[in-house]
Amino acid sequence: MQQAMEAIGVGRFHYTLLFLCGMSWACLNIWLQGISILSPRIQDAFGVSDVEMGFISSINFTGMLCGALFWGLFADRYGRRTPYLLCTALASASGLALALAPSYVTLCILLLPLGFSISAFTIIDGAYLAEFLPRSRRAMVILMGVFYSVGGIITYVSAFIILPILSCPKAPGGAGSLTAAPPCTTEQKNGWRLVMLVAATVQSLLFLGRLLLCQVKESPVLLVAQGDYHHAAKVLVRMSRSSGHVIPPAEVQAFVQAWMNPDPMEDQDAWEKGCLGEGRVRVKKSAQTSFRDLFTSPALASTTILVHLYSFCLAFGYYMFLFYLPVYLERRDALTAEESSTATEYIHMLISAIIAFPGTFVVRYLVDTPLGRKGTFALSFLITGLSFFLFPMASSHVTVLASMCTSNFFSTMLYAIAGSYITEAFPADTRATVGGTTCVIQRVASILAPTVAGVLITHGAAFPFILAAGFMLAGAMLTLVLPPIQEYDQGWPDRLSQKG
């Protein structure tokens, strides 16, 4: 299987798929950042309390938690292609409806299917892309992190253009002023809808692109892992032609021969020996993946545990920093009234997003150096934690902005390598399941982190940053004991099912 994919190489088909899968990560960040920055505007539009405003993000994360429980197992049992299209269709419909929500209650209801659908993006798309790539080129999955940064840039640019004009004006002198804010017009109250409409438009274009630009039906690696050689051969031939190969290479010809056999399974020995150079192996005849499959061997079990532990450390530390940062900045009053204008706030966010953009390329370079994946992973954890720890020491507007950029840059590196590790480290028939369970862990951490931060604030303003840094340090230590990915390549070939 891998010999055939290596011979096909990487061509137009793979770059198209990288774009389509990467844009789902962009859409994920568009929705996450958009909902975060639009929550105060939605509060102004519907006149809800601070508590009700907080429900907006909580409901979205609840939908993502439910989706994480569903999409991974669904993709491993029924294939990648169906959820690959279904999640984008549902996100497009939910996003468009969200921009037109007539009331706060309707908006909250629509946030559930939106969160449910976008949770699939990190679970499905990385695995889907990786399984069309030859193993020697799977580090391309890291480049999906570039699109995640692009999503943040799209959000902040649209917010910078729309919201300073179409937002309810602030009270002169800031939030603590006794002077009442100027009246808010209907157009100003509905400015958030235009930003939401931009996000929904990007999401809808992605759905159309997936329907029109990429016609391959299913992951060949998953098909072989399930014993469906017939369709795997067909997919490889179409992929080779889409990648610019006029005549399929010898390895693909072997798949074609097996596919054209009246009963492909009759010639299974010849197919396995001729195409893969191996003896007879046991393959899975049905896709009944469950979480128990991640513990079928000591090596797989230990890796599963380590991956879930570092996922919790990553999410808990990152979201504690992310959610506490605005509160911290407001309380220390680091910005003047002019600097804290709506336009300036979005400029700062945009700058930090642009600075983070090269982080993914840095990761892509470092994984091929002596540092490797484990070293790059641990280094990203360590420097991200250090930036969190030093953040309270920033004493001026310039140093605060510099600290934000540093934290954003290295956390982008961290998420890029974390997202690619699972796609390379686990067998095809459990890959999406692991993505789903780690997503559940991250959603739980994202719910716990703000609560813990609220408790720590009473003991000192710097304590949440210190705890966030501590979790990042713990994550660095966990990544250092992860087995090298090369061991998985030898011990857990993609097409094998350890269950038999």
**237 and 340 share a domain?**
no
Question: Among 68-72, 198-202, 266-270, 367-371, where is mean pLDDT lowest?
Answer: 266-270
**9 and 64 share a domain?**
yes
pLDDT for the residue 216? 62
pLDDT for the residue 252? 56
**What is the pLDDT averaged over residues 135-164?**
84
**166 and 269 share a domain?**
no
Q: Which residue has the higher pLDDT, 395 or 171?
A: 395
Q: Which residue has the higher pLDDT, 487 or 479?
A: 479
**86 and 199 share a domain?**
yes
The encoded tokens of residue 34 equal: 């958009």
Residue 207 binned pLDDT confidence (cut-offs 50, 70, 90): very high
CATH code of the domain containing 424: 1.20.1250.20
**268 and 368 share a domain?**
no
Residue 299 binned pLDDT confidence (cut-offs 50, 70, 90): confident
Assess if residue 95 is contained within a domain: yes
pLDDT for the residue 499? 37
pLDDT for the residue 458? 73
pLDDT for the residue 352? 82
Q: Which residues contact 16 (CB under 8 A, 6 or more apart)?
A: 213, 214
Does 390 have pLDDT greater than 80?
yes
**303 and 269 share a domain?**
no
Return the closest-CA partner of residue 1 out of 228, 201, 305, 200: 228
Return the closest-CA partner of residue 209 out of 109, 345, 296, 92: 92
Q: Which residue has the higher pLDDT, 293 or 331?
A: 293
Assess if residue 283 is contained within a domain: no
Assess if residue 497 is contained within a domain: no
Q: Which domain holds residue 388?
A: 2-216+291-491
- Contact predicate 446/61, CB 8 Å: yes
How far is Cα 492 from Cα 349, in angstroms, rounded to an integer?
43
Assess if residue 322 is contained within a domain: yes
Q: How many structural domains are present in the chain?
A: 2
pLDDT for the residue 122? 83
Assess if residue 433 is contained within a domain: yes
- Give residue-wise pLDDT tens across range 27-56: 998 998 888 788 878 888 888 876 777 778
Residue 310 binned pLDDT confidence (cut-offs 50, 70, 90): very high
pTM for the structure as a whole: 0.75
Assess if residue 500 is contained within a domain: no
Residue 487 binned pLDDT confidence (cut-offs 50, 70, 90): very low
**363 and 430 share a domain?**
yes
pLDDT for the residue 2? 66
Question: Among 5-19, 136-150, 337-351, where is mean pLDDT lowest?
Answer: 337-351
- Give residue-wise pLDDT tens across range 48-68: 876 777 778 778 888 988 888
The encoded tokens of residue 488 equal: 């998985």
**305 and 395 share a domain?**
yes
The encoded tokens of residue 356 equal: 């983070």
Does 176 have pLDDT greater than 60?
no
Residue 197 binned pLDDT confidence (cut-offs 50, 70, 90): very high
**209 and 257 share a domain?**
no
Give the H/E segment covering residue 260. Answer: helix 250-260
pLDDT for the residue 269? 44
Does 116 have pLDDT greater than 80?
yes
Q: Which residue has the higher pLDDT, 67 or 490?
A: 67
Angle in degrees, CA 294, 298, 302, rounded to 5: 70
- Give residue-wise pLDDT tens across range 259-298: 445 444 444 444 344 333 333 323 343 445 566 777 877 8
The encoded tokens of residue 236 equal: 């490889």
pLDDT for the residue 72? 79
SS3 content of the chain, % helix, strand, coil (to 5): 75, 0, 25
**415 and 304 share a domain?**
yes
**What is the pLDDT averaged over residues 416-427?**
76
Q: Which residues contact 486 (CB under 8 A, 6 or more apart)?
A: none
**447 and 330 share a domain?**
yes
**303 and 396 share a domain?**
yes
pLDDT for the residue 1? 63
Residue 115 binned pLDDT confidence (cut-offs 50, 70, 90): very high
**What is the pLDDT averaged over residues 206-227?**
78
Mean pLDDT comparison of 223-237, 294-308, 372-386, highest-scoring range: 372-386
Assess if residue 221 is contained within a domain: no
Residue 106 binned pLDDT confidence (cut-offs 50, 70, 90): very high
Return the closest-CA partner of residue 442 out of 186, 93, 121, 146: 121
How far is Cα 413 from Cα 420, in angstroms, rounded to an integer?
11
Q: What percent of the chain stands above pLDDT 70?
A: 77
pLDDT for the residue 90? 95
Assess if residue 496 is contained within a domain: no
- Give residue-wise pLDDT tens across range 221-245: 777 777 777 777 777 777 777 766 5
**What is the pLDDT averaged over residues 429-456?**
80
Does 498 have pLDDT greater than 60?
no
Q: Which residues contact 379 (CB under 8 A, 6 or more apart)?
A: 366, 371, 476
Question: Among 79-83, 250-254, 323-327, where is mean pLDDT lowest?
Answer: 250-254
Q: Which residues contact 407 (CB under 8 A, 6 or more apart)?
A: 321, 384, 387, 388, 391
pLDDT for the residue 401? 81
